[in-house]
Homo-oligomer: A and B are copies of this chain.
């Protein structure tokens, strides 16, 4: 069973906005060299989630782990994302999509962010 990863970010009008997500994407590809990793956006940037899923499906990938690169659980993750995933699962019933916690739900990352704040403000 081929697996893929989709890194899911909000999107913005300004292309520079996406730079951190491209950096994370490149890092994840290095850490998971045997897994196809794609970025996808909720809005304002391409590819959207359904397009990324389509691309992975065309590569024969049937199991996708979707990682929300959002700091916090707001309406985008509680409402928009489940709706999108339901639509995608209806269109592609053979694809299994697992959504992980958002990055702001990781105590390890929140601690790393706090340490970065403390270092910057000393």
Hey, which bits of chain A sit against chain B, CB under 8 A?
A: 3, 5, 7, 9, 12-14, 16-21, 23-24, 27-28, 30-32, 35, 65, 67, 69, 71-75, 78, 100-101, 103-118, 120-122
Contact = CB atoms under 8 A, between A and B. Distances in A.
Number of copies of this protein chain within its complex: 2
Nearest to A29: B114
Given A20-B104, A20-B105, A28-B117, 11 more contacts: A13-B75, A14-B78, A17-B72, A20-B71, A23-B107, A24-B113, A28-B121, A32-B121, A67-B117, A67-B121, A103-B113
* A interface: dominant SS: helix
A65 B20 CA distance: 22
B121 A20 contact: no
A27 B73 contact: no
Contacts of A17: 72-74
A27 B110 contact: yes
B118 A65 contact: no
